[in-house]
Structure 1
């Protein structure tokens, strides 16, 4: 049986930025959750989750020794820190948005 959980139940995140590009690292709390996150956190799902920011591309990098993923999200910061009038134009809060993403979990996995 499947159930959905917010990503923050299985991982934490860190965010950085460079220009109009957001860089979000997602780190599993437990090594046994890495394969589930590998399956659920696809570039397509992350791009869809950030659809309101209109990213032009999302690239996922896997770091299995760290139980982590790094997502590079292009053109999601309204031009970047110097060009945007947004309060959080450099995207620090975007990691919280990603951690709120619902993922599918097999209940036998829990």
Structure 2
């Protein structure tokens, strides 16, 4: 097993709708997808964004696409026009998630 940041093995994109952030995470191979599905849980995502995501985090797995989607509620301090946050539209959440460190198998990456 090796410890890596997500940015070394995956891609992501994020966006928003109101006070909700959506983060899509993509794996380049089936092996990496299995590691992501095991390691990148809703609980870990919420903990990684401690203090930013106040609501629930729901994960949707899309194995045929080697992707997963995280819906993070109450994540923008009220939403675009209501918040004082610099990233009022949630565009930086994907980049921030890429710093999360996970354990991957020897076959991954």
Band the TM-score falls in, shorter-chain normalisation = over 0.9
State how far apart, in whole Å, the 2-side matches of 1:31 and 1:48 are: 26
Higher strand share: 1
Residue 37 of structure 1, CA deviation = 0.6
Correspondence list, 1:1-110, <5 A: 2-106=1-105, 108-110=106-108
State how far apart, in whole Å, the 2-side matches of 1:8 and 1:28 are: 11
Root-mean-square deviation over aligned CA pairs = 1.2
What TM-score do you get using the length of structure 2 for normalisation? 0.92
Higher helix share: 1
State how far apart, in whole Å, the 2-side matches of 1:43 and 1:18 are: 19
Residue 32 of structure 1, CA deviation = 2.2
Runs (4+) of structure 1 exceeding 3 A deviation are none
Residue 10 of structure 1, CA deviation = 1.3
* Secondary structure, counterpart of 2:51 in structure 1: helix
Residue 66 of structure 1, CA deviation = 0.7
What TM-score do you get using the length of structure 1 for normalisation? 0.91
Residue 56 of structure 1, CA deviation = 1.3
Number of equivalent positions = 108
Residue 21 of structure 1, CA deviation = 0.3
Residue 88 of structure 1, CA deviation = 1.1
